[in-house]
Amino acid sequence: MGKDREKLVVIGNGMAGISAVEQILKLTTKFDITVIGSEPHPNYNRIMLSYVLEGSKTIDDIVLNDLGWYKDNGITLHMGRAVAKIDELNKEVITIDGLKVPFDKVIIATGSNSFILPIPGSDKEGVVGFRDIADCNQMLDAAKCYKKAAVIGGGLLGLEAAKGLVQLGMDVTVVHLMEDLMERQLDHQAASMLKAELERQGIKFKMGAQTVELLGDARVSGLRFADDTVLDAEFVVMTVGIKPNITVAKDSGIEVNRGIVVNDYLQTSMEGVYSVGECTEHRGTCYGLVAPLFEQGMILAKHISGVETVPYEGSIVSTKLKISGVDVFSTGEFIDGPEHTVIANKDDWKRTYKKIILKDNVMVGAVLFGDITDSAQLQKLIKLKTVMTDDLYASLMGTGCCGGEGKKGISVDTMSNDEIVCGCNGVTKGTIVDVITNQGLTTVDEIKACTGATRSCGGCKPVVEQILQYVLGDEFKTAAKQGICGCTTLSRDEIVAEIKDKGLQTTKEVMNVLGWSQTEGCSKCRPAINYYLGMIYPDTHEDEKQSRFVNERMNANIQKDGTYTVVPRMYGGVTTPEDLKKIADVSLKYDVKVVKVTGGQRLDLIGVKKEDLPKVWEELDMPSGYAYAKSLRTVKTCVGSQFCRFGTQDSMGMGAILERKFERLDFPAKFKLAVNGCPRNCAESCTKDIGIVGNDGGWEIFVGGNGGIKARLADSLCKVKTDEELIEICGAIMQFYRETGNYLERTSEWVERIGLDHIKAVIVDDIEGRKALMERIEFALKQVEDPWKKALRDKEQTGKLFNGLEMSNQL
């Protein structure tokens, strides 16, 4: 630590405390900073816990400041340690386990705790709050074992918990004391629309119900209500409110009320000690939303750093949230009374609702549901106590002469630089303007990567776009092009060219040499670069497992309950009784929940525990079907000429040949084939990346089909007479796609982007070029274990699998 620097200790490693630290780091270097957090995690976005719960994000995805950030900024971090008290006399912060940290200044940012109803049974097993990662993990574990859940509390946290548990497959009922959901943020109309939408998503509700007892023995089994009715539940989440965590302050002799009492500069009653966030009480008010804590943090940071600042005078509470995909917003007075004039517009077709409340013709509050585009403008207008006019009414309600097209949009030019744009991450307008002006950022993705704005719920994206347009002016339309992600402006083709030209060998090297704005990259670019390197250098590139998606690292697909699915390879959809018996034995031994026949004619073992994956694969002793990979997934076949009276070609044999030959090779995206023995198309070749249809004269080849979200019928590429031509053209198509496809771009998009005529010219018309493509894919195949050659050597097994088919003759 620097000898002349003041020692700043931050008690709490959450969003409020670390946001204040981030602001301090921008203003001064006079502090040696120590952060003490009770959780065994770096700073993470608590708002995003519901996304972790539903499975769309991991814990790593919601970390705001990783361990490298603390190190880079010279911050000493103590994780998993709770503070007992602040010793004012000896100027030390003392942890429960005896660590003593000297201080000159302290920031208390201990947040809040879940309020657990003081009713009989609330201490039973299976009753949790929803405030941190530990609670989230308990909920994930419960969903694996139990089916019926109750969430007590119909506020934001309760609804997020309910949605997450529904996504995990549980039967969930939200129990709420009031008749309206989120009654502290929404009026009756918006609350009713929200309830209807959540019911469509599978959540059940019991409104106006007071829980008086939790039933069960050691573990909860149900809820009893004041009217003596009962609801069965094996798991209960309490989200009825929060309590400011004032224990440290109280035990240190600092003045507390409901929260830790502070003045307008966030100072407590103890000299040199500040408080910020949910644990704080300012002018009799404790705030439970993120925007006020960021406003507090900015003023605290300036004051503690010796920078002139206006005092904190409280926050106009506004709520801008995305609940289960539904956008809601409210600010100021949202419940109208006799003294108010109400402007409202409800659209049942689009499921949107807008209400603006006036008092003496001054805007004092608003509620939005479904479409929150005007949220920033309304918040500003209400904060400034704006008088409603005919022009303003036309702008806000879309009733001008242009039928709404003349709406003025968000007035970002009148926003102050200190105004928070991204409430989830505390990013101000000034921060966004600064990175656009001084760092030359030109896209929303670049701003997201640099500042965190739009990184969480995405509700602030329209405002960020408006600020971008406002700052760039006429340059906005001609701003720098978007790269493969927000970390770079380089396109796929430019990156590949630079890798080849400069001889770059690793993902780190690519990002460093090519000037990535995020030195570690992101989840979009890391897997893409790893793929491009493997495609360019199939013989020398060492696959970077840390750059692959989690399913590829685990060799299985993770499911919403935390278990995995295992899919063994079945070449052409054909297997043996011996392999079927192995699958059955393994499924019984490892308690597989379901064995499903997939659309690709394989068996999917659903519900394998993570710790059992290595043993399951070992005992199956079968090749992986790569159901999780960006590679050849399946080759679907009909029974063809071996069995079908209509079959003209041996589709099962050819399907097995193609699958054995090209399996395990990486592609830009998942890749599927189908082989039909006749034009009746029983194997559905028309919706596959490569579809093959047999006829009396040979084979017809189709490309670019997709049966997924963006369904597309495949295009006819050519007809061939021999099996040798078929295999060569399929290999050339695959390699051309590998070399020119954007990462995660399916062939259905690739064909439309490249053009079918161009593909024909390269694959069908240019015979020498086709052979060169085939040579390159053969070279790549030699770098991986080659089951094709193994199959050729194993004549006996080949005969069993394919009824005597002579594979060598098919070559």
523: which 2 tokens?
């989840």
Burial class (CB in 10 A: 0-12, 13-18, 19+), 530: buried
Residue 533 phi/psi, 5-degree rounding, is -65, -40
Beta bridge partners of 691: 674, 702
Tell me how far apart the alpha carbons of residues 168 and 8 are, in angstroms, rounded to a whole number. 42
The Cα 277–Cα 17 span in angstroms is 7
Distance CA 741, CA 350 (A): 37
Whole-number Å distance between alpha carbons of 482 and 489: 5
- Provide long-range contacts, Cβ within 8 A and 24+ apart, for 137-143: 139/53, 139/164, 139/165, 139/168, 139/235, 139/237, 140/53, 140/168, 140/561, 140/562, 141/562, 142/234, 142/235, 143/168, 143/169, 143/170, 143/235, 143/561, 143/562
Give exposure, 314-343, as e/b (b: 16+ Cβ within 10 Å): ebebbbbbbbbebbbbbbbbbebeeeeeee
Closest CA to 165 of 142, 182, 135, 131: 142
Name the amino acid, one letter, at 210: Q
- Taking the C-alpha atoms of residue 603 and residue 587, their distance in angstroms, rounded to an integer, is 11
Other C-beta atoms lying within 10 Å of the C-beta of residue 643: 11
644 is in an annotated binding site: yes
Rounded to whole angstroms, how far apart are CA atoms 502 and 525? 19
From CA 177, how far away is CA 206, in angstroms rounded? 9
Say how far apart CA 453 and CA 434 lie, in whole Å. Answer: 13
- Are the beta carbons of 807 and 657 closer than 8 angstroms? yes
The answer to whether the annotation marks 638 as part of a ligand binding site is yes
Scanning the structure block, which residue is given the tokens 């994930």?
A: 140
Give the DSSP H or E segment for 295. helix 290-304
Q: In what order do the strands lie in the sheet with 100-102?
A: 83-87, 92-95, 100-102
Q: Which amino acid is at 78?
A: H
Point out which residues pair with 365 in neighbouring strands. 332, 357
Taking CA atoms, 283 is separated from 43, 86, 241, 287, 499, in Å, by 28, 24, 20, 11, 59
* Edge-to-edge strand list for the sheet holding 31-36: 76-78, 31-36, 6-11, 105-108, 273-275
**Cα–chain center distance at 407:** 33
Residues at the annotated binding site for [4Fe-4S] cluster? 638, 644, 678, 682
Residues at the annotated binding site for siroheme? 682
Residues at the annotated binding site? 638, 644, 678, 682
